[in-house]
Amino acid sequence: MASCGEVLVRLLEKNYGVGTVFGIPGVHTVELYRGLAGSQIRHITPRHEQGAGFMADGFARATGQPGVCFVITGPGMTNIATPMAQAMQDSIPMLVISSVNDSAHLGMGEGRLHELPSQRDLAGAVSAFSHTLLRADELPKVLSRAFAVFRSARPAPVHIEIPLDVLASSADHVDQTPWPIPSAPGPAAAAIAEAASLLSTAERPLIAVGGGAIAAAEEVMALAERLQAPVINTVNAKGVLPYSHPLAVGGSGSCAPVRKELQAADVVLAIGTEFAETDYDFFMVGGVRLDGTLIRIDIDASQLTRNARPDLAIVSDAREALVALNTALAGVQQSSGSNGLVRAAELRASLRSTADRNFEAFFAAIDEALPEAIIAGDSTQPTYYAWLHYEKEHPRQYFHSASGYGTLGYAIPAAIGAKLGQPDSPVIGLIGDGAAQFTIGELASAVEAELSVIFLLWNNLGYGEIRQFFADEGVEPVGVDIHTPDFDQLGRGFGCATARPKDLPALKRALLAARDHDGPTLIEVMEADFVDGDAAFLDAPESPDSLG
């Protein structure tokens, strides 16, 4: 007899190409694991379900494919809820499959092992949908719904819970033929014609790209060159237009020069971007002002009614819309008044003038040693700098948890997931000493999986950024000067190679050695060794009045 759990594994592998699953087995998930031994799926055991979720998130961001997790009833679900919320905020595909108590016991509140009043309600708040599978026959349909979200809609986590009795039930009779995945939605022809008309006559066009444009890099470049329009990007869109391209601005919609350009542009084309606070109002001075015409393209219709109000709203997959738009604009000669190259160069120069030289040198050392590295960042001082000033040549090479949901402890497990998804690329998990203590146990997972992932730990002896916020607000710091463990000993105790470089040349040597090491490396850098105190981490933001 093939159980429902066995058929589930078979469908994931054969129908959807899943090759990696993150999970912690338990008494309520034995039937989920029955089929794994005979499959080609690699199972990674994190040390906490939060680690499983962040690994799946990093895997998805690095590959574009959904990360898959198996978790137990109750605490497994509550532990993975935070990673699901982070993925939900950043539109990351993640499939979370959990067990749940026997179908006859659901909702009874009788104190069963791991029982929650309603797992489905809990998971539904941090997922595109949460489904309780009541019959094995439904499994192929429900999985097809999940992958339709991942491939044809705005990506998000999906949760499927399976009662223990259903997991163990016979599924020999289930038709395992895959359901077709619908194509991503394309744009309305009339909307494309209107957009083309607006853009073809624009004197000062500007393109703003978000994470929704990450699979449309070629189309973004073609359109930018056709319009001679500068391109700004959010964190999740770093590298969509290579920073070496003369129309790439980089920076952030929160930076004063970019905000001024958004206001001055006569037509702004926004592609897959939310205009949300963390990307466009990092300094909390108020939402961006757009005096010109705003065209928004988003795969999620509801998103087009949030934050910035568009003059033209186009519901479509970004790539489908840009292919159509490039076709509609073929042969159009952009007005010479655009001066896109000059505007982009001026914006870049203005942004570079505000860059902190300490962190600029720090990231330059990383790029010199490992130019193709994927960086998974946490909430720590270097990532706040990178948020505004660090750019990449390709998409999916930089991402962090500091924006969106803003969770801590992300970078260590996310880097593990990214390395599993892109084993031939150097991968760096950039994290602070405070955040590292949330998920430090996942070093053991990296050692166990024999991954040459680099954990770059920025140590400022506590919650340095929060300490500064206390000082800025005139509040006596409380709870921020936490005990700092000996990370070198911790790393070696887990089985990692370790290094403590004292300057930039030593950092580059450590990164190169870590790249070639057969296993993970923990590189600890002390803030005092890399920041000389003469340059502020971030220049004070301009006042709202000066931003226009």
Question: What are the residue boundaries of the structural domains of the chain, listed by start?
Answer: 4-167, 189-352, 357-530
> DSSP letters along 129-176, please?
EEEE--SGGGHHHHHHHHHHHHHHSS--EEEEEEEHHHHTSB-TT---
Please give the CATH superfamily to which domain 189-352 belongs. Answer: TPP-binding domain (3.40.50.1220)
Place of tokens 């990296």: 446
> DSSP letters along 205-246, please?
EEEEE-GGGTT-HHHHHHHHHHHT--EEE-GGGTTSS-TTST
Question: How is domain 357-530 classified at the architecture level of CATH?
Answer: 3-Layer(aba) Sandwich (3.40)
In this prediction, residue 334 carries a pLDDT of 61
Question: How is domain 4-167 classified at the architecture level of CATH?
Answer: 3-Layer(aba) Sandwich (3.40)
Half-sphere CA count of 481, side-chain side, radius 13 A: 4
Residue 180, classified by CB atoms within 10 Å of its CB into exposed (0-12), middle (13-18) or buried (19+), is exposed
Radius of gyration of the chain (CA): 24
In this prediction, residue 195 carries a pLDDT of 97
User: Do 301 and 172 contact (CB within 8 A), yes or no?
Assistant: no
Place of tokens 């080609």: 40
Q: What tokens appear for 533 in the block? A: 């105190």
pTM here is 0.94
The answer to whether the 4-167 and 189-352 domains have the same CATH topology is: yes
Place of tokens 């870590």: 514
| CB proximity list for 505: less than 8 A, separation 6 or greater | none
In this prediction, residue 108 carries a pLDDT of 81
Q: Which DSSP symbol is given to 180? A: P
| pLDDT tens sequence for the chain (548 residues) | 899 999 999 999 999 999 999 999 999 899 889 989 889 999 999 999 999 999 999 999 999 999 999 999 999 999 999 999 999 999 999 999 999 988 888 888 888 888 888 899 999 999 999 999 999 999 999 999 999 999 999 999 999 999 999 999 999 999 999 999 999 999 999 999 999 999 999 999 999 999 999 999 999 999 999 999 999 999 999 999 999 999 999 989 999 999 999 999 999 999 999 999 989 998 888 889 999 999 999 999 999 999 999 999 999 999 999 999 999 999 776 655 569 999 999 999 999 998 899 999 999 999 999 999 999 999 999 999 999 999 999 999 999 999 889 999 999 999 999 999 999 999 999 999 999 999 999 999 999 999 999 999 999 988 887 888 888 888 988 988 889 999 999 999 999 999 999 999 999 999 999 999 999 999 999 998 888 754 333 333 333 333 32
In this prediction, residue 544 carries a pLDDT of 35
